[in-house]
Chain A
Amino acid sequence: MVTGLKLIGKKYMSLKNKVQEYLNPEYVYIPLVVGNDTNISVFVKKGDYVYKGSILGKKQGNFSIPILSSVSGTIIDFQEKYYLNGKKIKCIIIQNDFKELTENKINIKDDMNKFSKKDFIERLKDNGIIGMGGAGFPTYAKYDTDKTIKTLLVNAVECEPYITADYSLILEHAEQILECINTILKINKIKECYIAIKKNNSKLINTFNLYIGTYPNIKICEVKNIYPMGWEKNVVKEVLKKDYDKLPIEVGTIVNNVSTIYAIYEALKNNQPLIDRIITITGEGLQKPINIKVKIGTLVSEIIERFNKYKDNKDLLFVAGGPMMGTTIPTDDLVVTPNLNCVLVIPKPKISPSIECLRCGKCVKFCPAKLAPVLIKDNCNNIDILKTYEVNRCIECGLCSYICPSKINVREYVRLAKQNIGKVDK
């Protein structure tokens, strides 16, 4: 059974306003990072003119993937900006000339069905498609496998509170998403596809149902409204009733985020690289929470200045990501990346002091990775014991800290344990 907990959604905040667009920032800051990998070779220098979709650099090593420009314009400098993990990352600053010039390839309407699997993988790679759910793993690598792919699982669960980016995207592009899934199934000879949606999102289910009749291989699967239902392992378990150890392909399954599917659609249909996305900018600290379609590399401070505005509240927290897994950033100098789905601005929560752990076992009960956080906490410096506790399975979902009645930030102890184990492994 999938473990998790129902959380208060707070999704209405960003949904009461219309989806906005901001696709013409004066400067974009393209961070030299893919996922958490900063091993990027840069192909451009200060003063170069780049087109929309030009290759700026390339992630080296396994699963290499290009980093592309999201506007046309001139490279004016390199500067460090905050990335969603809270670290400063070197970015290429491009001054937008607002011409949206491309290197002659974009917007050629393609017959999506003519692709061979090899073409398909090339297309994904060339257009820099990476997972938009959070990890930022190159998507083509999932399809580039010798194993038989039996099932495509489209993850539209979006289980973390506040976030509605995928939700808005589906309302707008359900037809295209279904068309793209159908194409992916044909190209990769996959028999079936499930779209996992939380059962309380009837609006999304209805939207898909308008178009789904023509696609007998695509089924909607309603999943429980619990967190972290959207975690890959949970969603595979819930929909397919299957367990795997490391990757879903072990059980013949590929899991793609629904936003990633739409990016694939743009790449196949229009040969358009991944240069924009919808993100949710919300929270009680903003005057107007919204979903907004923005260019990769846009500064969040700029968006908030134009569209949201801070409330006159001094004690605000600025969080990259959702309220459970997100990280606080010391300034709003955060850049939009394909894997940033949410920016949350909330009043600083009152800190209730933690008391001694009473060993109630709630963190154990709710841990989706089936860990025993309380025992990891007790032994977080004892490497021998930690090894048997399989600390590295932790996905840092934060439920242990959320549920703790003694208000102990259990996740921090587990992170410490992971670090300690990591040191030994090296």
Chain B
Amino acid sequence: MREFPLEKGPFLKANNKTSKMMFHLLIALFPIIIFSFYKNGIIPYNKGVTDIKGLFLPLIVIIVPTLTSFVTEMIYAQFFLHVDALKYVKSSFSIFPGLFLGLIMPLNTPLSMLILGALVATLIGKMLFGGFGNNIFNPALVGRLFIITAYAITFGKYIYHNSYELDTITSATPLTNASVIEGIGSYDTLVKPYGNFSNFFVGMIPGSVGETSALLCLVAFIYLTITKTIKWRIPTFYILTVFIMSFIIGAFNDLERTYSLFQILSGGLMFGAVFMATDPVTSPTTPIGQVLYGLCLGLLTVIFRHLTPYPEGVLTSILTMNMLVFIIDKIGVKARFNYKKSIPYFAIIIILIVSLSCYIGLEYRKNNAVEIDSNYEIYSKTIENDTVTYMVGQKGYSSVLKAKIVIKNNKVITYEVLEQNDSYYSKVEDSNYIDQLIKNQDSLENFDTIAGATFTSNGLKKLLINTLNDYKNNKNEEIKGNIDINKDYEVLEKNNDGINYNYVVTHKSFSGTTKLSITISNYAITNITVLETNDSYYQKVVDNDYINYLINNQSNLENIDTITGATYTSNAIKQAVLKTIEEYKGDLNE
């Protein structure tokens, strides 16, 4: 008889190891880091637009938070967990929160911000939950969310290197660009400013340090799937959902192929889907759960991109879904025994996907039809016989472009920029763009913008288009004669009881006259009532609750906005109220 030790089986073990999986992840990230160095460092350096620091900036932005995470975790392990720090970090894969954080930040994020972000990512995102394997939220995204909220900075303001427009170095990311376009946009407005789709695919577009190359993300996805490192279902269904939803949205606006491609190739979607959404610790473990997770992520991303003011939605979607992983896994467990149990959930998600796509698509179509440009504003409009003089403004790249445009007999005769603070305006001046615009005023829609000053030149073009539209829409009613508020204002009645002063006034409005009753007590307007009006735009004033807006902002009346689309009418009311206050002051002095 011979004795043997006891041990728990099984006695065969697969030779896969967590550390091996993490190594595969690093290998997959390597080309992305190299590409980032090439695109954000080498190209600008070779073109002479940046110095030696700028050459290595992309690497610095990646390495600094990586090291921060590593050191933070060592210190935390040594002094708070009281364990052997070296041994601890060996199995806790401490560099990843910082590494990923660096890759998803804009290039010129201040280093202090990166360090703080990595600290938060590691400490709050990971260690406070109990370290590797126990965190609920993706640590890198927690770090980025912290930076966004703590510094209250929108990333649109950051510099992104754009290889296509290298002479300008900086420009907005495609998604930021898309977010200021009214309606859905077109190939010309979405893609053309960045060259063509192959730039999107290769990654030669502005964006975060490591996020731009869809091609390298795809290569990484294939590599990680073959090596069985990531949960491939999540990125597949995530990207597919975004594609399908954008396709439907696009289909409502005759732009299905362009728009769906644009959506999946823009922003952090590819990188987020392949690397962030598949973070094993914070994603579902059940296969059906992973499919459901991917669908929900796609749905949320499309919602965030289209129905919130923020251009990007990947970060928010993943963090939101991180919270729901345990519920999704519960569904996943039940569905494995009986797939029918998951059908209601899939049905709900698919109905949401289809109906929301249709809703968003229709909304955009409406916007396209109405073509109200919220970035455009008419400050004043003076009509003299057959000549209309506009004082108008349009958002450019970094400021509002204010201009005087004179239109006579359907022809633009003057286009003069009075005020601007756009950094690229000089480019516009150099190329006589405004003269070109006046020359081509009949075919403005198809007129090219200036490469290297896309936003500014596009703004100037839009300014003219919008003004011409206003001219054409209002021409028939308007060109009757000069309307001057000062001249046409008249006090019909006034009475007071010592405290309350009541005025009944008339003033010339856009079309016809408006009769107002205004009550002022102790320097404060207490009531404004419109007694009579025959202005066709008056309904807009009511729709916008403009009268109450005036009362609520009476302390700053001179500077408050007029209503876009009823500028003249609302401005006339405002001016009438201002005149009445003058009248009241005069009465008090007597």
Contact = CB atoms under 8 A, between A and B. Distances in A.
A358 interface: yes
Interface in B1-60: 1-14, 16-18, 20-21
B1 A349 contact: no
Given A7-B12, A405-B16, A405-B20, A358 B132 contact: yes
B280 interface: yes
A348 B5 contact: yes
B1 A301 contact: yes
Contact of A330 (B6, B20, B134, B333): B6
Contact of B280 (A315, A359, A365, A388): A359
A8 interface: yes
A124 interface: no
A402 B12 contact: yes
Interface string A1-44: 00001011000000000000000000000000000000000000
A372 B6 contact: no
Contacts of B336: 364, 370-372
A251 interface: no
Interface stretch (B70-78, B283-291, B438-446, B483-491): B283-291
B168 interface: no
Nearest to B283: A359
Contacts of B10: 323-325, 398, 401-402, 411
Interface in A53-103: none
Contacts of B284: 361
Contacts of A352: 13, 17
B91 A403 contact: no
B7 A358 contact: no
B307 to A, nearest CB: 31
Nearest to B134: A356
Nearest to B11: A323
Contacts of A402: 10, 12-14
A226 interface: no
B12 to A, nearest CB: 5
B143 interface: no
Nearest to A285: B4
A224 interface: no
B131 interface: yes
A222 interface: no
Nearest to A353: B91
A355 B20 CA distance: 13
Contacts of B329: 372, 375
A361 B9 contact: no
B21 A390 contact: no
Given A331-B4, A348-B7, A370-B336, A355 B12 contact: no
A361 B280 contact: yes
B332 interface: yes
B92 interface: yes
B12, B231, B290 interface centre (most CB from chain A within 10 Å)? B12
A156 interface: no
A398 B9 contact: yes
Contacts of B287: 361, 364-365
B285 A375 contact: yes
A5 B16 CA distance: 13
From DSSP, what is the main secondary structure of chain A's interface residues? Answer: loop
A389 B333 contact: yes
A406 B18 contact: yes
B16, B283, B290, B330 — most chain A CB neighbours (10 Å): B16
B9 A323 contact: yes
A224 to B, nearest CB: 18
A360 interface: yes
B578 interface: no
Given A301-B2, A402-B14, A328 B21 contact: no
Contacts of A318: 2, 4
Given A402-B14, A405-B20, A374 B285 contact: yes
Contacts of B282: 359
Interface string B446-457: 000000000000
B337 interface: yes
Nearest to B335: A370
Interface in A338-376: 344, 346, 348-349, 352, 355-365, 370-372, 374-375
- Size bracket, chain B contacts: 35 or more
Contacts of A409: 8
Given A161-B12, A317-B5, A405-B18, A372 B332 contact: yes
A326 interface: yes
Contact of A356 (B12, B133, B285): B133
Contacts of B134: 356
Nearest to B91: A355
A388 B14 CA distance: 29
A274 B216 CA distance: 64
A142 interface: no
A329 interface: yes
Interface string A289-329: 00000000000010000000010000111110001111111
Nearest to B17: A405
A192 interface: no
Contacts of A175: none
Contacts of A364: 285-287, 336
A412 interface: yes
Chain B CB count within 10 A is highest, among A357, A358, A374, for A358
B333 A375 contact: yes
B334 interface: yes
B7 A328 contact: yes
Nearest to B334: A388
B18 A331 contact: no
Of A361, A389, A406, which is in contact with the most chain B CB atoms at under 10 Å from its CB?
A361
A272 B204 CA distance: 81
A389 B3 CA distance: 39
Contacts of B86: none
Interface string B325-341: 00001101110110000
Contacts of A161: 12
**A363, A388, A401: most-surrounded residue (chain B CB, <10 A):** A401
B542 interface: no
A401 B2 CA distance: 28
B281 interface: yes
Contacts of A332: 1-2, 4
Nearest to A345: B4
B320 to A, nearest CB: 19
A234 to B, nearest CB: 15
A324 B132 contact: no
B281 A359 contact: yes
A310 B290 contact: no
Interface string A205-218: 00000000000000
A240 B285 CA distance: 30
B5 A328 contact: yes
Nearest to A301: B1
A240 B11 CA distance: 32
Contact of A327 (B9, B131, B290): B9
B572 to A, nearest CB: 65
A317 B330 CA distance: 39
Interface string A372-410: 101100000000000011100100001001111111010
A332 B5 CA distance: 11
Given A356-B92, A359-B281, A326 B9 contact: yes
A370 B337 contact: yes
Contacts of A232: none
20 contacts: A5-B14, A8-B12, A301-B1, A318-B2, A323-B12, A324-B12, A348-B7, A356-B134, A357-B133, A360-B285, A364-B286, A364-B336, A370-B337, A371-B336, A375-B286, A375-B333, A388-B333, A398-B9, A405-B16, A405-B18
Given A328-B7, A375-B333, 16 more contacts: A316-B4, A324-B10, A328-B6, A328-B8, A330-B4, A332-B4, A349-B13, A356-B134, A359-B283, A363-B285, A372-B333, A401-B9, A402-B13, A403-B14, A405-B18, A411-B9
For the complex of A and B, list the 6 residue pairs with the smallest distance between their C-beta atoms, beginning with the closest: A356-B133, A398-B10, A361-B285, A318-B4, A355-B91, A370-B336
